[in-house]
């Protein structure tokens, strides 16, 4: 019953194609987000780093985009293809973009289950860590690790 409800809710959350302010790539197992230089303009408030250059971020290890990856690891050729450490990266498909957004939505739904199982507690902890990362850092826990663990468990349990 829960898996049916979860599947229906995920299907309802699917949205049509939207313009995105960033591009995403698979570079081997690494998932990389490319944010354009306009987000790092020195005249903008709250940008870090404010150097006016485009930056790459690891989408799994750094979902809040706080620590950019080194730009010297990335290259483009004349065709515009992106390479990371000499390996060609492929751009996300629409299905990949949707899955990236729907994982958190699915975790939000799973965190509202009423049973007291260890899985549900992990879903709740992962969603809380996603919503309140500062609190979990004060407790000495890594919120991205807790969220990633909850997303992995969700994917295993419901075959997402």
Q: What is the pLDDT of residue 17?
A: 44
pLDDT tens sequence across 67-102: 888 888 898 888 888 898 888 998 887 777 666 667
pLDDT tens sequence across 1-15: 566 555 555 554 444
Q: What is the pLDDT of residue 14?
A: 47
Q: In what order do the strands lie in the sheet with 23-27?
A: 55-58, 30-35, 23-27, 90-91
Report the pLDDT averaged over residues 105-133.
84
The 10 Å Cβ neighbour count of residue 50 is 14
């Amino acid at each position: 019953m829960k898996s049916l409800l979860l599947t229906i809710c995920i299907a309802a959350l699917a949205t049509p194609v939207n313009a995105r302010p960033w591009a995403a790539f698979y570079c081997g197992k690494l998932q990389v987000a490319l944010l354009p230089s306009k987000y790092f303009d020195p005249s903008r408030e709250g940008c870090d780093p404010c150097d006016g250059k485009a930056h790459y971020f690891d989408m799994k290890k750094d979902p809040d985009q706080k620590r950019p990856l080194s730009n010297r690891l990335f290259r483009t050729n004349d065709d515009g293809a992106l390479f990371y450490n000499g390996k060609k990266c492929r751009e996300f498909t629409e299905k990949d973009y949707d899955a990236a957004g729907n994982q958190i939505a699915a975790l939000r739904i799973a965190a509202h289950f009423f049973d007291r199982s260890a899985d549900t507690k992990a879903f709740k902890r992962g969603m809380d860590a996603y919503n309140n990362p500062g609190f979990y850092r004060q407790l000495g826990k890594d919120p991205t690790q807790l969220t990633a663990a909850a997303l992995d468990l969700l994917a295993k349990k419901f075959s997402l």
